[in-house]
Structure 1
Amino acid sequence: MFPLVIAAQRNAAKMNNNLPQLQILQMKMTEARQSGNQLDAARYSQETVMFMKEKGVNPLKNMLVPLAQAPLFISFFMGLRGMSNVPVESMRTGGLFWFTDLTLPDQYYLLPLITSATLYLTIELGTDSARLGSTNMQTMRYVLRALPICILPFIINFPGAILCYWVSTNFISLGQVAFLRIPAVRQYFKIEPLVAHTADSLPVKPKGFVTGLKDSWTNMKITKELEDRQRVDEIKFQRAGRGPIQKTYKYDPTRPTSSTAAGKDPIVSAKNRD
């Protein structure tokens, strides 16, 4: 996993150092989308893609480590749970300190608490190094911060073997983060030094959780409305191409006019219209 961690750290450093330019493009794209200007929104989206390609930045690279760890974690989780349910006899006395029996939950609830605490530190240090700057990313950061607290009631009754493995993995991750913060180590692995951005130097100012959540919800609704509008326009365009020529009027046909009173036909065929 270490090569993937290095690749993710390099990408996170590049994203942090180019954050002001990325935020400017994201602001322009959001404003164009909110105003309904799809042409400008598409143009700024393309400019953002080209800028990230030029700087060698890809937000998906930050997901390499979690995606690679997920199948391994699930495999170990299912394997250890199955061994605890059998149970494997050696696991009854293979623990440490107060959790000698790895097939039973921790009666003092210390392992679940340590697991949640180390998971929180891992998420906090990981998202801090990634410098999540956009509104959606800030909202994701708040959600990730709440994750260790939300899972605590569910892991209280986990066997000690699973929590022991989970805690060990968290400590290894924390050690990697601390190791990769050493300047000499970053230079050896060709990880760019992080540029410190103040709140005043960034185009997008930090927002609270509620404000960020509202902005994300508003952007989602606007995007959905634009997609629905585009879908309706496409349907109308297809019907216009297949159907008969529709009659058009020079004025509102629902309102009486002098021409209708005189017996003139206000209907003008689309073929004869200038």
Structure 2
Amino acid sequence: MSILNPLFEAVAWVIMRIHAWLSVPFGASSGWAWGLSIVILVMLMRLVMVPLFVKQVRSQRKMQAHMPQLQELRKRYKGDKQRLNEETMKFYKENGINPLGGCLPLVAQLPVFWALFNVLRAISDWQPGTTPKYGLTIPVVQSAKDARIFGASLADKFLFPLPHQTLESRLVILAFVLVSAATTYLTMRQSQKRGMMQQGPVDPDNPAANMQKYMMYIAPFFALSGLYWQFGLVIYWVTTNVWTLGQQH
């Protein structure tokens, strides 16, 4: 038994409650009921994380307000990396800056993502005559396996497809992965443009700014890992990206 089982069971419980509510208008085995269950799960999680988002914004603003001093440190210790790191960390401590503050929302949502991955895998691996994992019930698991969202089931993958998969389901997953990559790019681009408006033109000698620029083009390729994921996880990630894009705006 994994020490993370309570988390998996909690996510499974929330999904079952949402699904039970959506089953009334759409039907238990409806793709709408299961697709919207994941979307609403993301929305509830992101609402809970609003305080972390506020901390992220405050951390970013504090970092931006002290950017001229940080740039001065980089120029002063340009040839001494060790001294630069020491002085930078000292500066962070003296001014109450948390350089990892901007990562809080991402770190917070990873456990839920991992839990959903395991819940979906439990649904996919369930065989008639066995007891489903994580507190899932047999009717719920059966309805999840029967549900089709634009022709694809929650457990379907683009790469390493399941035996029953059709070309249509793989194309649907591919389309969602491309949307995920596009929204990842737009989120990074929006963040960079906001930073340029607040800080002015990017200093070509600023490694952090240059790294952010490169990441704007590199990050969307990470979204292509969705080609390995179950379709339910791709829906989760697209919803997260769209929420982040709107929240940043």
Report the TM-score range of the alignment, normalised by the length of the smaller protein: 0.5 to 0.7
Greater Rg over alpha carbons, structure: 1
Corresponding residue number in structure 2 for 1:175? 246
Question: For 1:39-79, what per-residue CA distance to the aligned partner results, in whole angstroms no more than 9, with x for missing partners?
Answer: xx63x655544443444322121222222222222222222
Q: Distance in 2 between matches of 1:52 and 1:150?
A: 30
Q: Distance in 2 between matches of 1:84 and 1:165?
A: 17
- Secondary structure of the 1:107 match is helix
Q: Distance in 2 between matches of 1:12 and 1:80?
A: 35
> Number of aligned pairs?
168
Deviation at residue 107 of structure 1 after TM alignment? 2.4
Corresponding residue number in structure 1 for 2:144? 91
Provide the aligned C-alpha RMSD in A. Answer: 3.0
For structure 1, the residue ranges without an aligned partner over 5 or more in a row are: 35-40, 179-274
User: Retained in 1: the 8 A contact 2:184–2:223?
Assistant: no
Corresponding residue number in structure 1 for 2:207? 135
Corresponding residue number in structure 1 for 2:25? none
Bigger proportion of residues as helix: 2
- Secondary structure of the 1:30 match is coil
TM-score (norm: length of structure 2): 0.56
User: Retained in 1: the 8 A contact 2:120–2:154?
Assistant: no
Q: Aligned partner of 1:19: which letter?
A: M
Q: Distance in 2 between matches of 1:155 and 1:15?
A: 32
Q: Distance in 1 between matches of 2:121 and 2:195?
A: 33
Q: Distance in 2 between matches of 1:86 and 1:120?
A: 36
Question: For 1:72-94, what per-residue CA distance to the aligned partner results, in whole angstroms no more than 9, with x for missing partners?
Answer: 22222222233234373212443
Q: Distance in 1 between matches of 2:126 and 2:189?
A: 37
Q: Aligned partner of 1:104: which letter?
A: D
2:116 is the counterpart of 1:64? no
User: Retained in 1: the 8 A contact 2:153–2:231?
Assistant: yes
Instruction: Indicate how the Cα distance of structure 1 residues 160 and 48 shifts in structure 2: closer, same or farther if over 3 A, else same.
Output: closer
Instruction: Indicate how the Cα distance of structure 1 residues 95 and 115 shifts in structure 2: closer, same or farther if over 3 A, else same.
Output: farther
Pick the aligned partner of 1:104 from 140, 146, 156: 156
Question: For 1:141-179, what per-residue CA distance to the aligned partner results, in whole angstroms no more than 9, with x for missing partners?
Answer: 524631322442x4225332121112112222222212x
For structure 2, the residue ranges without an aligned partner over 5 or more in a row are: 1-48, 128-140, 158-168, 197-201
Instruction: Indicate how the Cα distance of structure 1 residues 157 and 65 shifts in structure 2: closer, same or farther if over 3 A, else same.
Output: closer
Corresponding residue number in structure 2 for 1:73? 113
Deviation at residue 25 of structure 1 after TM alignment? 0.6
2:55 is the counterpart of 1:7? yes
Instruction: Indicate how the Cα distance of structure 1 residues 127 and 63 shifts in structure 2: closer, same or farther if over 3 A, else same.
Output: farther
- Secondary structure of the 1:58 match is coil
Instruction: Indicate how the Cα distance of structure 1 residues 138 and 95 shifts in structure 2: closer, same or farther if over 3 A, else same.
Output: farther
Question: For 1:233-256, what per-residue CA distance to the aligned partner results, in whole angstroms no more than 9, with x for missing partners?
Answer: xxxxxxxxxxxxxxxxxxxxxxxx
2:181 is the counterpart of 1:116? yes
Instruction: Indicate how the Cα distance of structure 1 residues 120 and 79 shifts in structure 2: closer, same or farther if over 3 A, else same.
Output: farther
Corresponding residue number in structure 2 for 1:18? 66
Q: Aligned partner of 2:117: which letter?
A: F
Q: Distance in 1 between matches of 2:148 and 2:187?
A: 24
| Percentage of pairs with the same residue | 29
Q: Distance in 1 between matches of 2:107 and 2:62?
A: 21
User: Retained in 2: the 8 A contact 1:116–1:148?
Assistant: yes
